[in-house]
């Protein structure tokens, strides 16, 4: 087989066979096929797409490029969830202990932030002393004991995806549906859970801009999951404004704790209940969303979900008491951004808030940047809320005053206030199964 002929085949709109795709992925990981040929192929895929068989074969080849986690020693069905990336998205921190407290094991590997979106591993790093690296044996043993482990994706999982993603990032080929779907699903399949619930987001703070695009991506990922015999469903959710009030690592963990203690904001809790319900369904605990909601609500109200979070953090060596000392955890410079006019909030744009969070130090400018875990924004008002002129809209946290100035200059671009209430859209738009 010659790589140049395979590039030409895809460029001319033909499908690649499983053997051809394996030849490419194996050669790329081994270094016998160079970056420039894979970049040309990625661009051909970007323009010509891939059919469902090719996409499943690509996922399979990526999964086979590295270690695969075998969760069968648990002797129980396990479930996993994945978000396609958003702003203020701390759902994993809430949903994972909530579901685990309903006696359904959650074995989760997560990543650091990607682009403008935050990552669960960065958020969890705000918990003093928590350990997020673990070998496979320790990971499985914790899930057996506690019913929940969340760790950093191991270095040997999907090496082909790591190489491909880095290449796509610099060749303008990230936003190709079959490439995104195979990238996300390869990690989920290799992580070993029997059931997978995907949160596919659309809107200004997401990778997908429209609901239609998110549904297309969801359909491809659900089909891949099924082809690997994993129960997979996708919730399509809106990401035009940040989820909940907190954006920034420590702020988000504190908000997740509020949620687990029964004091979560409505939009965030709505999405968490939806995701957790589908996890209980794919994990064969219940048959319907209404049945799931009753069980989840009981677990939250009784304090069991919060206890499960504490048990999980302590199993991984973290100290929640230290985290609850806000003066130590949040960055020291705190400034309110006040409303320039009276009226109803129509827009607090997720992408602008993400950029401000990055400027304040909460995200990485480059792969190597250090992040300020205590930096971020707390939205005191959200879409639909009324605000008087001069009242605070958003509270900003950072450690460096020059960063505050930059964020304060950018914020007005993302805020729209009008004299009448907006039409509000629900956070959960549809479900693809």
Give the interface with ligand URA as residue ranges (CB under 6 A): 85, 114, 165, 174, 179-180, 183-184, 207
State in angstroms the smallest separation of the CB of 122 from ligand URA.
15
Please indicate whether residue 187 is annotated as part of the active site.
Answer: yes
* Residues near 196 by beta carbon (within 8 Å), at least 6 away in sequence: 79, 80, 81, 82, 188, 225, 230, 231, 232, 233, 282
* Residues near 396 by beta carbon (within 8 Å), at least 6 away in sequence: 334, 335, 336, 337, 356, 360, 376, 377, 404, 407, 408
State in angstroms the smallest separation of the CB of 16 from ligand URA.
19
- Indicate which residue of 108, 123, 187, 304 is catalytic: 187
Q: Which tokens belong to 369?
A: 């940047």
Please indicate whether residue 22 is annotated as part of the active site.
Answer: no
- Indicate which residue of 80, 89, 122, 161 is catalytic: 161
Please, are residues 415 and 399 in contact by the beta-carbon 8 Å criterion? Answer: no
Distance CA 198, CA 427 (A): 15
Q: Which is nearer to ligand URA, 109 or 269 (CB)?
A: 109
State in angstroms the smallest separation of the CB of 415 from ligand URA.
27
- Indicate which residue of 10, 22, 81, 82 is catalytic: 82
State in angstroms the smallest separation of the CB of 207 from ligand URA.
6
Chain position whose Cβ is nearest to ligand URA: 183
State in angstroms the smallest separation of the CB of 35 from ligand URA.
17
State in angstroms the smallest separation of the CB of 80 from ligand URA.
13
Distance CA 111, CA 92 (A): 12
Please indicate whether residue 319 is annotated as part of the active site.
Answer: no
Q: Which tokens belong to 108?
A: 């989760």
CA angle 371, 87, 282 (to 5 degrees): 115
Please indicate whether residue 183 is annotated as part of the active site.
Answer: yes
Please indicate whether residue 161 is annotated as part of the active site.
Answer: yes
Q: Which is nearer to ligand URA, 175 or 307 (CB)?
A: 175
CA distances from 87 to 60, 252, 315, 362, 382 (A): 30, 10, 28, 12, 14
Distance CA 373, CA 254 (A): 12
Q: Which is nearer to ligand URA, 68 or 400 (CB)?
A: 68
Q: Which is nearer to ligand URA, 84 or 101 (CB)?
A: 84
Q: Look up tokens 């695969």; give the residue.
A: 68
- Indicate which residue of 81, 162, 168, 382 is catalytic: 168
Q: Which is nearer to ligand URA, 173 or 398 (CB)?
A: 173
Q: Which is nearer to ligand URA, 208 or 300 (CB)?
A: 208
- Indicate which residue of 183, 186, 191, 250 is catalytic: 183
Q: Largest alpha-carbon pair distance within the chain?
A: 68
Q: Look up tokens 């997979």; give the residue.
A: 232
Instruction: Supply the residues annotated as catalytic.
Output: 82, 161, 168, 183, 187
């Amino acid at each position: 087989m010659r790589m140049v002929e395979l590039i030409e085949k895809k460029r001319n709109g033909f499908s690649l066979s499983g053997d051809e795709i394996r030849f490419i992925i194996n050669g790329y990981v081994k270094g016998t096929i160079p970056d420039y040929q894979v970049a040309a192929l990625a661009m051909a895929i970007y323009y010509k797409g891939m059919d469902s068989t090719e996409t499943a074969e690509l996922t399979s080849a990526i999964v086979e490029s590295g270690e695969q986690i075998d969760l069968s020693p648990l002797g129980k069905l396990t479930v996993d969830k994945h978000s396609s990336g958003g702003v203020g998205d701390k759902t994993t921190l809430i949903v994972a202990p909530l579901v685990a407290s309903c006696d359904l094991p959650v074995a989760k590997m997560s990543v650091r932030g990607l682009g403008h979106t935050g990552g669960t591993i960065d958020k969890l790093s705000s918990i003093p002393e928590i350990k997020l690296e673990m070998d496979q044996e320790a990971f499985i043993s914790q899930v057996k004991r506690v019913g929940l482990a969340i760790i950093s994706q191991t270095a040997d999982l999907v090496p082909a995806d790591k190489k491909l993603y880095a290449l796509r990032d610099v060749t303008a080929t990230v936003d190709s549906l079959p490439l995104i779907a195979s990238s996300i699903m390869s990690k989920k399949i290799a992580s070993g859970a029997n059931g997978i619930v995907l949160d596919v987001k659309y809107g200004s703070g997401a990778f997908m801009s429209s609901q239609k695009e998110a549904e297309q991506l969801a359909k491809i990922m659900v089909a891949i999951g099924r082809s690997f015999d994993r129960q997979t469903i996708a919730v399509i959710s809106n990401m035009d404004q940040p989820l909940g009030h907190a954006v920034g690592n420590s702020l988000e963990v504190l908000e997740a704790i509020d949620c687990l203690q029964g004091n979560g904001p409505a939009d965030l809790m709505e999405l968490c209940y939806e995701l957790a319900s589908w996890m209980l369904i794919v994990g064969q605990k219940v048959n319907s969303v209404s049945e799931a909601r009753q069980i989840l609500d009981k677990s939250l109200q009784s304090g069991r979900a919060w206890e499960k979070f504490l048990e999980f953090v302590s199993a991984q060596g973290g100290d929640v008491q230290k985290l609850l000392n806000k003066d130590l955890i949040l960055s020291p410079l705190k400034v309110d951004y006040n409303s320039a006019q009276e009226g109803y909030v129509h827009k607090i744009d997720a992408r602008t808030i993400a950029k401000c969070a990055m400027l304040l130090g909460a995200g990485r400018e480059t792969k190597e940047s250090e992040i300020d875990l205590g930096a971020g924004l707390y939205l005191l008002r959200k879409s639909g809320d009324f605000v008087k002129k001069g009242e605070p809209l958003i509270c900003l946290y950072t450690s460096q005053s020059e960063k505050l100035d930059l964020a304060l200059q950018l914020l007005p671009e993302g805020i729209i206030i009008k004299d009448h209430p907006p039409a509000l859209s629900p956070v959960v738009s549809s479900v693809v199964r």
